[in-house]
Amino acid sequence: MDTTGEAADLLALDRQVCFALSIASRSVIGLYRPLLQPMGLTHPQYLAMLALWQHEPLSVKELGELLQLDPGTMSPLLKRLQALGYIHRERNSKDERALVVTLTPAGRQLRAEAEKIPPAIVARLGMSLDELQNLHQALTRVIAAAHRDPA
């Protein structure tokens, strides 16, 4: 029995989940770029704003955990959002070691403009809401599986 062909098929680029996820991620994030540009936001900054619009106030640590970003990535991202005038970072009065992130009035007002983004992305993808919800659920399962302890 020739297993070489079978092994080669397992390694075919177009069969790799990692490849499909990578291309899908870059492609979808690319759709956001022209929508975020007028707001002066990058996609990671947009995700931070989404988290703040939903959960403000948040500590830097909490925000990093929500976004699954390390502190080294969070600091420059938040500095840029503060420079844009969308957030404040202040020491927590109960714990001086912790920084709390809150929205400025401009950051709160930006939400109205950002509300146009999801429908524009849905329209651009040309997929039904059911398809996108199913995709989201499948990706959430993939993320959970990838974070599961192998032991």
Residue-wise pLDDT tens digits, 78-91 = 999 999 999 999 98
pLDDT of residue 9: 82
pLDDT of residue 149: 81
Q: Helix 105-114 and helix 43-55: axis angle, to 10°? A: 110
Domains of the chain, residue spans: 40-106, 116-151
The answer to whether residue 4 scores a pLDDT higher than 60 is no
Residue-wise pLDDT tens digits, 40-81 = 999 999 999 999 999 999 999 999 999 999 989 999 999 999
pLDDT of residue 98: 80
CA dihedral 75, 77, 83, 88 (to 10 degrees): -60
Q: Chain-centre distance of CA 122, in angstroms?
A: 16
pTM: 0.88
Distance CA 49, CA 122 (A): 20
Question: In the CATH hierarchy, which top-level class contains the domain 40-106?
Answer: mainly alpha
